[in-house]
Structure 1
Amino acid sequence: MGCKRDSDYIKVSVSPYISNFDLRHLYKGTDLPLNNENLGGATSIRAVVVSDHTGGNIPAGLLIVQNSRVAGNAIDSLRGIAINIGTDASKYVPGDSVHVNILGATLKRVDGIMQLTGVAPTNVEKKASGKKIIVRGVNSGALASRPGYYESTLITISKGKMAPEPVAGDTNAGNKTISDGFGTAVVHTEAAATFSNEGPKPFADVTGIVFATTSGIQLWPRSADDSDQLPEIIPSALVITGYLTDPSSTDGNYEYIQFKATRDIDFAATPFSVVTCNNAGILVAPNTGWAFGGVRTYKFNISSGTVKKGQFCYVGANKAIWGLGTTDISNAVWIASKQYATVNGDDFGTATGNLLANSGNVAGVAVFAGLTVTGNSVPLDVIMYGGNGLVYSAGPPAVGYRITNTDQYSTIQSRVTVPFYGAGKNISKFGFPSTAGAFTMLGGAYNPTTGIWSTGRTAKFIVLTGSSPLSAIEEATGFTTLVDK
């Protein structure tokens, strides 16, 4: 009675396919001949081709494919591998689905690149064409910190600013350094590439395959079309560096926004506008964006006073660091002060006791040149923070809060114009303070000449008390700095 019949067992068979994720984990630094034992019974990989030899900018003989694990959580399992099959590699194009028998091949690094060698061209079988290719958006900091994660996969680095900037006569050939606000990356173009003699694009979204060469981690575009020129950034005279969303007082007029001036400004001669948005309980996207008014957007006109380059300056109401009875910071540079809890905004915005949301749906701040803000106005600087909420509609017509090219957002992605927060990959936002009542400090490095963030802004929360001095929100380590180089 204790025995089981053969029919009592569920019959299973080992998959003949191994993912690149598992395959790459087999490599321990030395050449590894692949056999039934170390492949766990698998014999092949099935993947999608990402290499394109027509542009002449793929290492000779290498077929580059990527795939994810079929079973289990595949969120971070997308991996690539190079397969050396000689001249036949050029027969395959991006989107081809292939099955590759790798039994008997050797997993090794050649000139820095992890690859499979000893694979006969006849071991590669094309199954289909035109398959969707996953192209991950990756910043240069993430690429530098996890090169093995991205090696031999197709990625895009957004808003890459070439440094030094190209001059007349420069070409794509060789190694070019780009900065995207999170670090730097090297873009490599072979001298024999079809686009090597073209002029480089100084500011672009750059797509390519990641290779770990003996010279370091490099991004190899496959063609001229892998570099998408972006509109030039307009430097902002004011950049957003912090804000207080939840002061100790509940009677309003104690919230404020902090900026840093990137040049000397006489606001009487060169006025600006600051607009906040609060989307509490909102179920529709604003059809006029930042100019919507009502309880959703509130406007400050800045048309008098001065500020010096590098100075912090403020927009708000009562000039206290953390609410009623706390440290008086009226000695700071206040470029606009309005009792927003009882007074309507300049041109639009209903008086509100909650200028800056401290919970719930996404909220934001934008800086505009001049005193006129409409639904078509594009900000000079903009940040969003908080939760979610419906603030964008693809339409037609598309409506929402317009963004600009900053460390957080890009208005052109993969040749598609995405001018609103929530469109494309424009979903970056800062979180609410981890401690209630904390000041949110935004730290990055900004070039006031080019408008490029060489280090993107990140949020740090400064816990305040009633006696905190002004220096607590102006001299803490990690504040945004200006980098003129």
Structure 2
Amino acid sequence: MKKIIFYSMILLSIPFIWLGCKKSNYPGGVVSKYFPLYDLRNLYKGSEVTLNEDNMFGANSVTGVVISDHSGKNLPAGLLVIQDKRRLNLIRGISISIGADASKYVPGDSVAVSVSGAVLKRVDGILQITGVDGSAVSKIASNVVIPAYRVGSSFILAKPNDYESTLVTIVKAGFDPVAKPTDTYLGDKIINDGFDNFTLHTEPAATFANNTGLNFNANYFGIVFNTQDKDGNLKPHLRIRTLKDVIALSSTPDIASIIISGYMADAEGGDGNYEYMQFLATRNIDFAVTPFSVVVTNNAGASSPTGIFPTKGWATGADALASPAGLVSRTYKFNLTSGTVAKGEFFYVGGSTKLINGANSTSIAASKWIRSKNYTTATPANAPAGNGDGFGLYTSGLFANSGNASGFAVFEGTTVDVNSVPIDVIFIGAGGSLYSAPSVGYKIANTDFYDKIDPISLTVQPFYRSGTNTLSFNYQLPADQGFWNKLGGVYNPTLGKWVKARTQNDLDLSKSSPLSAIESYHLRQTLDGSGVVLRTDTIYQTRLK
């Protein structure tokens, strides 16, 4: 009995022994002396924090790779800026105020900093570790590789605290308005990367402040810093460190005369002769004088040629002169050779019915149709009227409705061959035999989704699914529902680029939907089962700036 009582007391005492142990990030293990920067930033809740082993869970230091370079004199003086991704593989940075010693360190230096007793607070809008002497910094290594961290400007604007004191790359950015030959870097300049407008800041003392020759289109490597407005809201901006942080991409705009703004790929009911595409003109066009063409690709499993890659690119057609019933061509072409369209005007290409959502739906024949034809007809037998203009066979459906990828592209002129490059292109889905390295596939244009040359590595990637060209829109289910794919975005013809990338806004059209449903902004309401409005969304329409 005494033994039972003795062992019971031992078992009861174990939890108290554990509770008396020192606080640890790793129960049962050795506490790291390095506190992740992700956790460090989360300690700050709006008022200054004195750092110690208690609130850092046993740690007393931070470590990271240096990203600051004071040689260009464009960073806040005295700040050593480091970043790490020790927590959740998320990059986070911090600025450490150490005075003149900050200039001793260069990008790629790995350092450890003792911060016990230091104070975490915002100074001039920047979250900083203050009260640290230069002697608290120990250099561990040099020439650590810092991978490019591509971030769209809209993401930084949405979460400025997350990106503060990190080295980011804002890609394919141009000045808005376009920089004049005499303009310099000095002050606050607005750049746009297709996600949003963002401020590029250059200090008067910067070594490059008075340099001219600002690039039309470039990548900007720089550190994100914040200021605060009168209400305490963070306002981010980017500071390049030296001119080596600017990688020129182009010196002149590549302006697309026509951009893609929407499509009906799966009407309510059957699709035959009811599919169509919507475009937006960025300038006045007389198609009799300046012809264009539109090519649709359908890579469904039954599409001819089957089971192989498109060796002729967009000009693949069906690689056959006649088609058995139900055969679908890999590509089908419409020539745009008559009619006119004004800058900022929508126009259409597709089936001859000119109905908004399949059989017995609203006629949109009064809108601007540049090319329409019954692509389903097989008569006359020797030269089917439904064949494409140059290639492509009559078909019951231009687009796939699920599975393998489909899409379409706009070309200048009516001659499209294996070497032709479109001026705008979109894809829906990613499956099928689309790209075979290094030179077989569907060529892309420089758009909001695609780059003929990777802007970071500068590697040539001219096809869909090559390199980073993997983005696509989605198929919408259920099939035969009558979804109109309204592509919201903003294109600036002066800059020759998308200043707001396109997004897919799927509208469930009815048979009585008016033309305005696909040509204007409107509100979409989400209702519950009893008709109560749960949410109201603004559905944007592609437009010009």
Q: TM-score, normalised by structure 2?
A: 0.81
1:404 matched to 2:428? The reply is no
CA contact (8 A) 2:69 2:105 kept: yes
**Residue number in structure 1 paired with 2:145:** 132
Tell me the SS of whatever aligns to 1:23: helix
Q: CA deviation at 1:251?
A: 5.7
Counterparts in 2 of 1:246 and 1:89: CA distance versus 1, 3 Å: same
Name the counterpart of 2:267. Answer: 247
Q: 1:37 is paired with a residue of what secondary structure? A: coil
Stretch of structure 1 that moved more, 300-309 or 473-482? 473-482
Q: Give the match for residue 357 of structure 2.
A: 322
Indicate if the aligned counterparts of 1:365 and 1:382 stay in contact, CA closer than 8 A: yes
Question: What residue in structure 2 maps to residue 225 of structure 1?
Answer: 244
Aligned CA distance change for structure 1 residues 264 and 191 (closer, same or farther; 3 Å) = same
Larger mean CA deviation between 339-348 and 28-37 belongs to 339-348
State the Cα RMSD in Å.
2.6
Q: CA offset at residue 171 of structure 1?
A: 1.4
Is contact 1:233-1:405 (8 Å) kept?
A: no
* Residue pair 1:363, 1:385 contacting (<8 A) in 2 also: yes
Deviation of the 1:143 alpha carbon: 1.4
**Partner letter of residue 246 of structure 2?**
S
Distance 1:82 1:360, change over 3 A: same
- Per the TM alignment, residue 369 of structure 1 is displaced from its structure 2 partner at its CA by 0.9
Which residue of the other structure, out of 204, 212, 226, is the alignment partner of 1:212?
Answer: 226
Q: Which residue type is aligned with residue 368 of structure 1?
A: F
Give the CA deviation at 1:129.
Answer: 2.8
Q: Secondary structure of the residue that 2:496 maps to in structure 1?
A: coil
Question: For residue 357 of structure 1, what is the aligned residue in structure 2?
Answer: 400
SS in 2 for 1:432: coil
**Aligned positions of 1:222-371 closer than 5 A:** 222-231=241-250, 232-250=252-270, 252-281=272-301, 286-294=310-318, 295-318=329-352, 319-342=354-377, 343-371=386-414
Counterpart for residue 377 of structure 1: 420
Assess if the C-alpha contact under 8 Å between 1:274 and 1:365 holds in 2: yes
Which amino acid is 1:177 matched to? I
Write the deviation string for residues 352-384 of structure 1: whole angstroms up to 9, x where unpaired.
333122212333221111112233322222222
Say if 1:228 and 1:415, in contact at 8 Å, map to a contact too: no
- Please state how far the C-alpha of 1:185 moved relative to its aligned partner: 0.6
Distance 2:472 2:237 in 1: 29
1:212-243: per-residue Cα shift (whole Å, max 9, x none)?
13573110112212222223332222211110
- Of the three residues 464, 486, 494, the one matched with 1:441 is 486
Q: What's 1:78 paired with?
A: 91
1:455 is the counterpart of 2:489: no
Q: Secondary structure at the match of 1:230?
A: strand
The superposition leaves residues 395-415 of structure 1 with CA deviations (integer Å, 9 ceiling, x where unpaired) of 3x3443332233333334025
Letter paired with 2:114 = N
Equivalent position amino acid for 1:303 in 2: T
Q: Distance in 1 between matches of 2:473 and 2:429?
A: 6
Residues 433 and 439 of structure 1 are in contact (CA less than 8 Å); yes or no, is this contact kept in structure 2? no
Distance 1:155 1:421 in 2: 26
Q: Which is further off, 438-447 or 267-276?
A: 438-447
Query: How many angstroms does 1:279 deviate by?
Result: 2.8
On the 8 A contact 1:236/1:448 being kept in 2, the answer is yes
SS at match of 1:136: coil
Supply the AA of the counterpart residue of 1:453: W
Instruction: Judge conservation of contact 1:234–1:380 (CA < 8 Å) in 2.
Output: no
Residues 401, 154 of structure 1: alpha-carbon distance in 2 compared, 3 angstrom cutoff: farther
Distance in 2 between the 1:177 and 1:448 partners? 17
> Is 2:542 the counterpart of 1:480?
yes
> Partner of 1:62 in structure 2?
79
Is residue 49–residue 64 contact of structure 1 (8 Å, CA) maintained in 2?
A: yes
Q: Which has the larger radius of gyration?
A: 2
* Amino acid across the alignment from 2:340: T
Match of 1:111 in 2: 124
Report 1:11-50 matches (<5 A). 11-50=28-67
Q: Is the 8 A contact 2:216 2:253 kept in 1?
A: no
Q: Following TM superposition, by how much is the alpha carbon of 1:424 offset from its aligned partner in structure 2, in angstroms?
A: 4.2
- Quote the offset at 1:388 in angstroms: 4.6
1:140-179, Cα deviation, whole Å (9 max, x unpaired): 2221111011111111222222122221222112211112
Question: Once the two structures are superposed, what CA deviation does each residue of 1:47-80 show, in whole Å capped at 9, x if it has no partner?
Answer: 122222233322222221111134xx43xx2211
Return the letter of the residue paired with 1:47.
G
For each residue in 1:11-43, what CA deviation from the matched residue of structure 2 results, as whole angstroms up to 9, or x when unmatched? 323222211110000012222110111111111
Q: 1:392 to 1:354 in 2, by over 3 A?
A: same
Q: Give the secondary structure class of the aligned counterpart of 1:159.
A: strand
Separation in 1, partners of 2:317, 2:346:
27
Instruction: State the distance in 1 between where 2:137 and 2:506 align.
Output: 54
Q: Distance in 2 between matches of 1:284 and 1:128?
A: 51
Change (3 A) 1:251 1:189: closer
C-alpha distance 400-133 of structure 1, shift in aligned 2 (>3 A) = farther
Pick which of 410-419 and 144-153 moved more. Answer: 410-419
Identity of aligned residues (%): 49
Q: Aligned in 2, Cα 1:285/1:207: closer, same or farther, shift over 3 Å?
A: farther
Cα 1:98–1:389 change in 2 (3 A) is farther
Cα pair 1:359 1:387 within 8 Å, conserved: no
Secondary structure of the residue aligned to 2:132 is coil
Contact 2:284 2:343 in 1 (8 A): yes
**Preserved CA contact (<8 Å) 2:271 2:397:** no
Deviates more, 1:137-146 or 1:225-234: 225-234
Residue number in structure 1 paired with 2:469: 426
Superposed CA deviations along residues 155-209 of structure 1, whole A, max 9, x for unmatched, are 1222222122221222112211112233211101223333323222132222211
TM-aligned CA distance change 1:454 to 1:89, over 3 Å: same
Residue 191 in 1 paired to residue 215 in 2?
Answer: no
For 1:47 and 1:388, how far apart are their aligned partners in 2? 41
Moved more, 122-131 or 28-37: 122-131
Amino acid at match of 2:350: G
1:175–1:296 CA distance, 2 compared to 1 (3 A):
same
Name the aligned partner's letter for residue 211 of structure 1. F
Is the 2:178–2:495 Cα contact (8 Å) retained in structure 1? no
